[in-house]
Amino acid sequence: MKVALVGATGMVGEVMLKVLEERNFPVTKLIPVASEKSVGKTIFFKNEAIEVVSMQEAIDMQPHIALFSAGGNTSLEFAPKFAAAGTTVIDNSSAFRMDADKKLVVPEINAEELTPEDKIIANPNCSTIQLVMVLHPLNKKFGLKRVVVSTYQSVTGTGKNAVDQLNAEISGDADAAKVYPYEIFKNALPHCDVFAEDDYTKEEIKLMTEPKKILGDDSFNLTATAVRVPVQGGHSESVNIEFENDFDIDEIRNILSETPGVTVLDDVQNKIYPMPLYADGKDEVFVGRIRRDRSQPNTLNLWIVADNLRKGAATNAVQIAEYLVKQDLV
Ligand code: 2RA
């Protein structure tokens, strides 16, 4: 497979390279693509130094698959050009996620929707992916009525500059470059992405819309608050779920334990619960603190943690590519 990687020098792009190697994806030629200023730089893949090329050079090489993680504007401009040249694009930006004619895919949930005609496939937002991996099996069994999610999101979700800001603030560098409107160290910012309509942020709107498309179910209500915290290993989410039907806690645990890609870490007496410190570098979605919400019937509280750069972005995208290859869709 000829695989283009657009955004190869970014934080997610670097993880995509690592995941492609780890999973031994059948790459016959890797085509790293980055902004004009990075053309000519070298990246390493399978111990081989490969030169970064321009977008047009990559399109002209007609890759089978192009993995994009270079921002929405780049995706909007160049994903259609790759697709027109016959390449199947898997885009990690928000550019196409809610387009009616584009598929929004978490392979464990809805990969079977994919067809050879899907030339631009959207990779969901990181905080969405970990949420729906848990909601999907529970929705099938008990029916979702209302979901309230509060996130505690890693600075890695904003990119390298945000990680640099945090580390500079920790080391007391008064001149640290500011990515966020305030200091992030010793702080929590209820401000992920930009504010849109109704004083919700775009991150919260993604969390309130993408899950319904992925689950193929808009019968339930969903509200979200997204918060940035000085963490690097992954995103955490506190989730309150009201079901249409009652449930048994042990049955909840069993269902989640048997869900591919989900790992239950839930033994509070022994201080076992999901944490970004543990999730960092792993592909599983970890769930714990599973307990009944006694304030109302048929309602559950739980805690979900996942590495937002891996299952939240790079691994999910590569899993989509694996599905395309396995089903001969590319
Ligand atoms: C964030 N989910 O965490 C967004 C984009 N990666 O900032």
114 and 151 fall within a common domain: no
255 and 114 fall within a common domain: no
Catalytic residues, which ones? 126, 235
42 in a known ligand binding site: no
Mean pLDDT of 196-225: 97
288 and 168 fall within a common domain: yes
The C-alpha atoms of residue 303 and residue 282 are separated, in whole angstroms, by: 17
Q: Over the stretch 280-292, which tens digit does the pLDDT of each residue have? A: 999 999 999 999 9
Q: Over the stretch 216-229, which tens digit does the pLDDT of each residue have? A: 999 999 999 999 99
pTM: 0.97
88 and 233 fall within a common domain: no
91 and 138 fall within a common domain: no
Mean pLDDT of 107-117: 98
Look at the block and give the residue holding tokens 């590569």.
318
Nearest CA to ligand 1 atom 6: 157
Instruction: Provide the pairing of β-strand 65-68 with 262-264.
Output: unpaired
CA of 297 to the centre of ligand 1 (A): 33
The C-alpha atoms of residue 226 and residue 191 are separated, in whole angstroms, by: 7
Residues ≥6 apart with Cβ < 8 Å to 269: none
Mean pLDDT of the chain: 97
85 and 170 fall within a common domain: no
Question: Would you state the structure tokens that stand for residue 118, as one six-digit string?
Answer: 């899907």
Q: What is the CATH number of the domain that holds 190?
A: 3.30.360.10
22 and 131 fall within a common domain: no
CA of 183 to the centre of ligand 1 (A): 18
Closest CA to 284 of 315, 253, 255, 254: 315
161 and 65 fall within a common domain: no
CA of 128 to the centre of ligand 1 (A): 10
Choice from 189, 201, 203, 232 to test ligand 1 binding pocket (greatest atom count within 8 A of CB): 203
38 in a known ligand binding site: yes
**Three-state secondary-structure class, residue 324:** helix
Asked whether 192 and 128 are in contact (CB, 8 A), the reply is: no
100 and 141 fall within a common domain: no
**What residues flank ligand 1, with Cβ below 6 Å?**
125-127, 153, 157-158, 192, 203, 308
CA of 254 to the centre of ligand 1 (A): 30
* Residue 174 vs residue 193, higher pLDDT: 193
Question: Would you state the structure tokens that stand for residue 257, as one six-digit string?
Answer: 């334990």
From the CA of 158, give the closest atom in ligand 1: 7
From the CA of 206, give the closest atom in ligand 1: 2
Query: Is residue 87 pLDDT above 90, yes or no?
Result: yes
Q: What is the CATH number of the domain that holds 54?
A: 3.40.50.720
If phi > 0 it is left, if psi is from -120 to 50 it is alpha, else beta; for residue 251 that is alpha
pLDDT above 70 covers a percentage of the chain that reads: 100
149 and 257 fall within a common domain: yes
Domain count, the chain: 2
94 and 188 fall within a common domain: no
Choice from 131, 193, 311 to test ligand 1 binding pocket (greatest atom count within 8 A of CB): 193
Instruction: Give the structural domain span for 157.
Output: 127-308
10 in a known ligand binding site: yes
CA 291 to chain centre: 26
